[in-house]
Amino acid sequence: MIDAKEFLEALDALENEKGISKVEIVDALKEALRKAYVKMLGGGDDADVRVSITEDPAAIDMCRVRKVVKEVQDDYLEIDIDEANATLKKGQKKYAEGDEFVEPVDVSELKRMTALTVKSILKQKLAEAEKRALYETHKDKVGELITGIVERFDDRGATINIGRASITLPRKELIGDESYPQGATIRLYVSDVTSNEKGSMIRVTRSDAGYLKCLFEESVREIYDGTIVIKNIARDAGLRSKVAVYSNDPNVDCIGSCIGIGGKAIQSILSQLGNGTNREKVDLVLYSPNDALYIVDALRPGQVKKLYLDEENHKAVAIIPDGTLSVAIGRKGSNARVASKLTGYDIDIKEESDADELGLEFKTVEQLQIEDRERVQKDRYNAYLAQLKAQKEAESQLSTGLDNAKPHTISDEEIEEEPVKEEVKPVEAVKEEAPVVEEVKPVEPKQVKTTTTLESLEAALESDKKKESFKATQKTSRRPKTITESEVEHDVEAEKEIIRKGPQMDIYTKEELEELENEEYYEDEYDDSDEDIDYDEFDSYYDDDNN
């Protein structure tokens, strides 16, 4: 038995320090004890040794298992049945052939004899478990930046602690002649994480183009959100790098955005490119699908006057002004080398005085720009034609679909009429069934008598006139309307005309109508007693009400 508290504390310490789970630690300890006891037995590795470790109660149990047989062929793996039964106490069930004989092992005795073996094996198993944990932690960080602490730095490189493990950074993966003291913080780019039988390996670098790309993504917001795209990066770590950028938004200046306001963005990037004697330079290149213009811009700060391009063999000859060859080539040839790597062309740089000797047909930068503009216009025109074609095809498909969706019109030829079988009747029967048409006599209009007198009708008409006159006066004028004689005569004649024509049904008898025609119509004398009324007074009165 071992102390449970010490056992659990040891497991927790290993888990926190190495990042290994308790299960892996227990499995490693089991394997170490098993191998140590097998080695102590002096036989082969095929011995059946079983180890059990429990946390509560904290205990380590180990046993050797052999097969019970009547005749022993290999005493390392088998035991005689009589020998096995001799170890039993009174009352215990005897062994039968084929049973397993379990022989307990005293762990304390094993510890005294093979302590160094257990320690060595356990250390090896923990290292393997640590590498597996390291792989699981960093396998998703490929292509990202991580931070570490310098543990040791010399001419061969540096040893970096990245948390629960230490990794090696070779000298060639550093930027130029940079150096760091022990305990310094350093940023690394994870280029690859592998795992095999020997363990896991994390490859880190600071000289890769991916390191520079991550710095741009951190410092330039437009690159991070995808507005500006990094098309390619060519780098000669410690000397010069060229970054080809392109803007998806025509309103965004990709070069200006990468430089930042007051050069803040580019300065932040340059400050993380090593601390050597010669600082690395970074050139921003505007990407172009035109290879010729792309090469012209990639060779800056060299000034290209003419260019010969062999697209098939990916070769180019650039002509620069006399006396500027050193600028175009760059320090240690870095400018020409990085430009060639960026564009994918083998670029040869010549001065103007040597151009005629080459016997090549060069094009000036102005000619290249004109050709590029014409190409862009042609591409836009072709894109416009393709768009029109696509629209017509879509409309054609739509019209075809509508035609197919219309109901099918059945022609007369498609309809096969079934003959109608008519029952033929004799002529006498038809004559008998013919309807008899009776003679229709004209109906004389009936005269309807009424008890309404002429006096009551005229009184009702006069009352309606007064009501209508009052309503019209209230709606249209503040001053009462004076009815003229012509209007009265017109109304009387209209009434007489209505009486003459009459509706569908007569109101008066013939005798009453004759009496009405013979009566003389007397007009009432016009009462002009209202002429003395002061209508201005009425106007002012209504005006006061309205106000």
Read off the pLDDT of residues 428-440 as tens digits, 9 standing for 90 and up.
444 444 444 444 4
- How would residue 134 be classed by pLDDT, with cut points 50, 70 and 90? confident
pLDDT at 179 over 60: yes
Per-position DSSP letters for 447-494, written without gaps between them? PPP----HHHHHHHHHHHHHHHHHHHHHHH-SSPPPPPHHHHHHHHHH
Asked if residues 172 and 178 have their Cβ atoms less than 8 Å apart, the reply is no
- How would residue 476 be classed by pLDDT, with cut points 50, 70 and 90? very low
Q: What is the pLDDT of residues 203-247, one digit of tens each?
A: 999 999 999 999 999 999 999 999 999 999 999 999 999 999 999
In the prediction, which pLDDT does 455 show? 65
In the prediction, which pLDDT does 487 show? 52
In the prediction, which pLDDT does 546 show? 47
Which range has the worst mean pLDDT, 53-57, 143-147, 541-545? 541-545
Whole-angstrom distance, CA of residue 85 vs CA of residue 365: 102
Q: Which residue has the higher pLDDT, 111 or 524?
A: 111
Whole-angstrom distance, CA of residue 267 vs CA of residue 269: 5
pLDDT at 541 over 70: no
Return the domain boundaries, the chain: 4-136, 142-205, 214-287, 290-388
Order of all β-strands in the sheet with 228-236 = 228-236, 240-247, 281-286
In the prediction, which pLDDT does 448 show? 42
Whole-angstrom distance, CA of residue 480 vs CA of residue 139: 104
Q: Which amino acid is at 98?
A: G
Asked: is 290-388 a CATH 3.30.300.20 domain? The reply is: yes
Whole-angstrom distance, CA of residue 331 vs CA of residue 343: 19
CATH value of 214-287 in 3.30.300.20, 3.40.190.10, 3.30.470.20, 3.40.920.10: 3.30.300.20
pLDDT at 106 over 90: no
In the prediction, which pLDDT does 522 show? 45
Q: Which residue has the higher pLDDT, 34 or 543?
A: 34
Q: Which fold has domain 4-136?
A: N Utilization Substance Protein A; Chain:P; domain 4 (3.30.1480)
Over residues 303-324, mean pLDDT? 94
Quote the mean pLDDT of the chain: 78
Q: Which residue has the higher pLDDT, 440 or 492?
A: 492
pLDDT at 390 over 50: yes
Whole-angstrom distance, CA of residue 148 vs CA of residue 150: 7
In the prediction, which pLDDT does 25 show? 77
Domains 214-287 and 290-388 share a fold: yes
pLDDT at 537 over 60: no
In the prediction, which pLDDT does 489 show? 53
Over residues 84-105, mean pLDDT? 87
pLDDT at 492 over 50: yes
CATH superfamily name and code, 142-205? Nucleic acid-binding proteins (2.40.50.140)
Q: Classify residue 314 by its DSSP letter.
A: T
Query: For strand 78-80 and strand 58-69, is the pairing parallel, antiparallel, or unpaired?
Result: parallel
In the prediction, which pLDDT does 499 show? 53
